[in-house]
Structure 1
């Protein structure tokens, strides 16, 4: 009868991150692992931890910016009023090769009932007598429209992404500098070992020795 094959428990697999963690704390059990290898593992783990902190910081910055921008938008909306202006001149595009804006002279009435006039932004080609929507401030002067919810979210996202990009770039630069230092340290550590191994590897260490059986 064929001998029953012995069953062995499956070997536990370790993820690369787990291997680096064990190597960083000196518990990998590898006799060939050099101090510089452990330093490289510690560098990798430190970079990952720093990246997680940067991600958390970016989220905090985005949320804080969103709250601040929403407050500013609400306050600005209290001092903005939408009225209808009547063009008193044809809207002409602003001078400049890349200009997309056009302005026209117009008249409008503010919330206090005062009739005002001035230059406003209007679609190019707006004719005299056409009506143009206009945002004004408490003094009745043309003003920017209140920031919308989508614009507020977009600005807040931009602040968060900016924080993430700058933080990641700083981490990458620091890791690159540290990695070059470790590489130079590894090269210096190889030199004395190579001086001991090279004569035996090349055969120079056996030259001049009598062969077995020679007298």
Structure 2
């Protein structure tokens, strides 16, 4: 069985916490590192809880959207001009006007983007709401999961940057203090004047 000194010796950063001869700045740095490590672990737990809550909210919203939206077959109408207000297509896509019948029997029109270079299909499926207006499709389960995970990763990255910055600032201040202590000790051994 290993002795405590062997284990502490391998954890070099935390060694000053257990040594009586350690200087104040070394102990303070070890305490700060320990606290920041605990904050990182706590932030992981909190953010994991937030990811689960976001996923639950996104799936509930997607389910509600799925109940209020439905797909209709829209007729592709290359003979009708694309409204100038429509966003320009790019990346191998073209904008095409389509028409469909709304629930009240009224014919509605909209713009979809289709792959360029291939023959236009006679019909495409698009999502509409209860009034027949074109809407985005509801989120799938995998999209909700991906959105929640990416949101959690962004927040954890922010936490790590802030805590890492706090450690570096603290470490820099402690290094300056250590340098002053070393200079004072060195001047004291030479018998010279000490710095404040």
The interval holding the TM-score normalised by the smaller chain is 0.7 to 0.9
Task: Report matched runs for 1:29-178 at 5 Å.
Answer: 29=20, 31=21, 33-89=22-78, 98=90, 100-110=92-102, 112=103, 114-124=105-115, 130-178=122-170
Task: State how far apart, in whole Å, the 1-side matches of 2:87 and 2:3 are.
Answer: 75
Task: Report matched runs for 1:175-214 at 5 Å.
Answer: 175-198=167-190
Task: State how far apart, in whole Å, the 2-side matches of 1:21 and 1:100 are.
Answer: 57
CA contact (8 A) 2:72 2:125 kept: yes
Cα distance, 1:14 vs structure 2: 0.8
Q: CA RMSD in A?
A: 3.0
TM-score normalized by the length of structure 2: 0.81
Task: State how far apart, in whole Å, the 2-side matches of 1:132 and 1:170 are.
Answer: 48
Which consecutive unaligned segments of at least 5 residues does structure 1 have? 1-8, 200-215
TM-score normalized by the length of structure 1: 0.74
CA contact (8 A) 1:87 1:127 kept: no
Cα distance, 1:120 vs structure 2: 2.5
Cα distance, 1:118 vs structure 2: 1.1
Give the secondary-structure state (helix, strand or coil) at the position aligned to 2:57.
helix
CA contact (8 A) 1:20 1:45 kept: no
Aligned length: 187
Q: Which has the larger radius of gyration?
A: 1
CA contact (8 A) 1:23 1:38 kept: yes
Task: State how far apart, in whole Å, the 2-side matches of 1:98 and 1:129 are.
Answer: 19
